């Protein structure tokens, strides 16, 4: 069974949407920047226009295990603070945020790695062109001798 959710929240200075696909215990997500606060009608029109592309983009992102959050009985506030601090310390060591935030972070890291590799290839191509041009100039200078 799969579930799709779009969450719109404010991340200073823009309104951002996070599209989550939860399927088989795994969550995949993608992030959309809206700019100004979108109305319900604008969201509806946006999803009708770009929904399939967003789903494909989210499905292409790496999956992250979805957290199974069991319902817990009410906890003493002091104990809840202690558990929250322990959870925050554990989250700081490893995974940060929710499963959808983790999926968005992985997507960002993939795009960043791809961009770095592309930049490195462009730089090598530029250096190769410069070497070829310098060699051609050098040969042209010595051509008549």
Which pTM value belongs to this model? 0.47
Rounded CA separation 110/63 (Å): 13
Measured between alpha carbons, how far is 71 from 73 in angstroms, rounded to an integer?
A: 7
Q: Report the C-alpha gap between 99 and 25 in whole angstroms.
A: 11
Distance CA 89, CA 128 (A): 49
Residue 21 has pLDDT above 70, yes or no: yes
Chain segment 77-130, per-residue pLDDT in tens: 898 899 888 887 776 666 566 778 888 888 899 999 999 999 999 999 999 999
Residue 68, pLDDT > 90, answer no
Task: Pick the more confident residue, 110 or 71.
Answer: 110
The mean predicted confidence, pLDDT, of the chain is 85
pLDDT of residue 133: 96
């Amino acid at each position: 069974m799969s579930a799709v959710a779009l969450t719109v929240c404010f991340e200073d200075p823009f309104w951002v949407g996070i599209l989550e696909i939860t399927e088989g215990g795994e969550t995949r997500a993608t992030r959309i920047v809206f700019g100004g606060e979108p109305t319900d009608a604008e969201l509806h029109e946006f999803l009708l226009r770009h929904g399939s592309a967003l789903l494909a983009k989210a499905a292409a992102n790496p999956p992250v295990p979805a957290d199974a959050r069991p319902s817990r009985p009410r906890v003493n506030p002091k104990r809840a603070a202690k558990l929250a601090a322990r959870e925050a310390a554990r989250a700081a060591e490893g995974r940060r945020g929710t499963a959808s935030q983790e999926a968005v972070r992985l997507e960002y890291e993939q795009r960043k790695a791809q961009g770095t590799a592309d930049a490195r290839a462009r730089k090598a191509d530029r250096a190769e062109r410069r070497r070829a041009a310098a060699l051609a100039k050098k040969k042209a200078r010595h051509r008549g001798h």
